[in-house]
Structure 1
């Protein structure tokens, strides 16, 4: 295809133009400081797209100039072809991500998928009393998408020296990297633990290292996928 390089230049140009426009807007201090959200929306949805269009035309023109006398087609025609190719690439990328998201999603997004669990242990400060019944403890996994109640596993409760250890698990129903585990024990302060797992939460055969919380308690955890242990 004789005009492939012009189209390639036109496809690369919008990304450069989009990013360059946002950088220029930031450097010149454009916007209303009293309304930063409105200014950001204006920059992202008005100025940056205009920069992307300019980048498409300039990228096509630069590629045509580099080819010299070997050019085929006009600047307008090659720019339109590059725009069409860009739309196809975006559509292909979006379709590929959608397929990946559905096929690798956890059950609430894909009923045919396996249900992964967050399996955890919490080592409480010395002298803390272990909860004796389900009514004395509440476990909740909090994410930016949902909240999921957890289950204490009393058969795994134990003492580690003078420190009691509680254990439990909770379903990882959505793929997100923003997770925290809240544990409430009757008569004790509420405790909140950040969970540093990736969005997909890959299976781990063993619990990770102990992580110290601000109140002196510690947590360790792993993601468990059915059929992997």
Structure 2
């Protein structure tokens, strides 16, 4: 067996030893029950690494004992190489996580320019009276991070058969999948429309399908990013 293969097996054994040690400590409820956080950290950072070392050394020792690895390096040397690779993988994983956490540290959708827009149309049941202008219509985007007033686009109002359709837009400032649009027409109950966009709200050139709420009115929408039509 080549040295590289022995080291790879040592890496696998070290990972298995780490996981097995942590699982075993959890099963036997090892540590201070009055301070489970400290006990858990001790398991992750002290006792489980000892299991990783034991796994790497045991795997290399067993391969050396098989009598087929003569001249491929000592057990200690290959064990250290295996553990070194495990450490490098852990460091790389932590680095990737830190980079991701830094890139997503703020919830802004577009930190370096204008925010994208939620462009929408609302279609009302036949017989519902809708103002012909923006007067008497209030739009508000509600999220778990903020609220944002919207604007209606009176020039885009139209009728779909005997149903009135209003249009408008509102800024999407934050990355969150918890969004809803409140449409208030003077003299009528407030209407709340769930907005089913992903947290990053990618640009879409066309409206989605109509989505109906309990009162029979419907909404369709799309996300529009700056510089895109």
Match of 1:57 among 46, 50, 57: 50
Instruction: State the shift of 1:158 in Å.
Output: 1.2
**2-structure distance, mates of 1:184, 1:24:** 56
Are 1:160 and 2:160 matched, yes or no? yes
1:7-18 alignment, distance < 5 Å: none
The structure-2 alpha-carbon separation of the partners of 1:14 and 1:7, relative to structure 1 and needing over 3 Å to count, comes to: same
State how far apart, in whole Å, the 2-side matches of 1:223 and 1:211 are: 16
> Contact 2:118/2:222 (CA < 8 Å) preserved in 1?
yes
**Relative to structure 1, is the Cα distance of residues 61 and 206 closer, same or farther in structure 2, using a 3 angstrom cutoff?**
same
User: Offset of 1:128 from its aligned partner?
Assistant: 0.8
Aligned-partner Cα distance in 2 for 1:80–1:183: 60
CA offsets 1:79-138 (integer angstroms, 9 cap, x no match):
799568635531332124423x3799534xx2x234211111111122111134434121
What is residue 143 of structure 1 aligned with on the other side?
143
Counterpart residue number, 2:177? 177
82, 105, 109: which one pairs with 1:106? 109
Whether the 8 Å contact between 2:211 and 2:220 is mirrored in structure 1 is yes
Q: Which residue of structure 1 lines up, in the alignment, with residue 70 of structure 2?
A: none
Give, in whole Å, the separation in 2 of the partners of 1:166 and 1:202.
23
User: How far does the alpha carbon of each residue in 1:42-81 deviate from its partner, in whole angstroms, 9 at most, with x for none?
Assistant: 86x45654553444432342233222245327x99x8799
Matched, 1:71 2:84: no
Residue of structure 2 in register with 1:215 after alignment: 215
SS of the equivalent of 1:72 reads helix
1:86 to 90, 94, 98: 90
Deviation of 1:199 (Å): 1.2
Q: Secondary structure at the match of 1:134?
A: coil
1:15-34 aligned at under 5 Å gives the runs: none
TM-score, normalization: structure 2?
A: 0.71
CA spacing shift, 1:72–1:113, aligned 2, 3 Å: farther
**Residue number in structure 2 paired with 1:118:** 118
Change (3 A) 1:145 1:52: same
Cα distance change on mapping 1:130 and 1:46 into 2, 3 Å: farther
Q: Distance in 2 between matches of 1:16 and 1:158?
A: 66
Alpha-carbon RMSD across the aligned residues, in angstroms, is 3.9
Determine if contact 1:179/1:195 at 8 Å carries over to the other structure.
Answer: yes
> How far has the Cα of 1:189 moved from its partner?
1.2
Q: How many residues align?
A: 207
Gaps of 5+ in 2: 30-34, 65-73
CA contact (8 A) 1:104 1:113 kept: no
CA distance in 2, matches of 1:151, 1:13: 60
> Counterpart in 1 of 2:67?
none
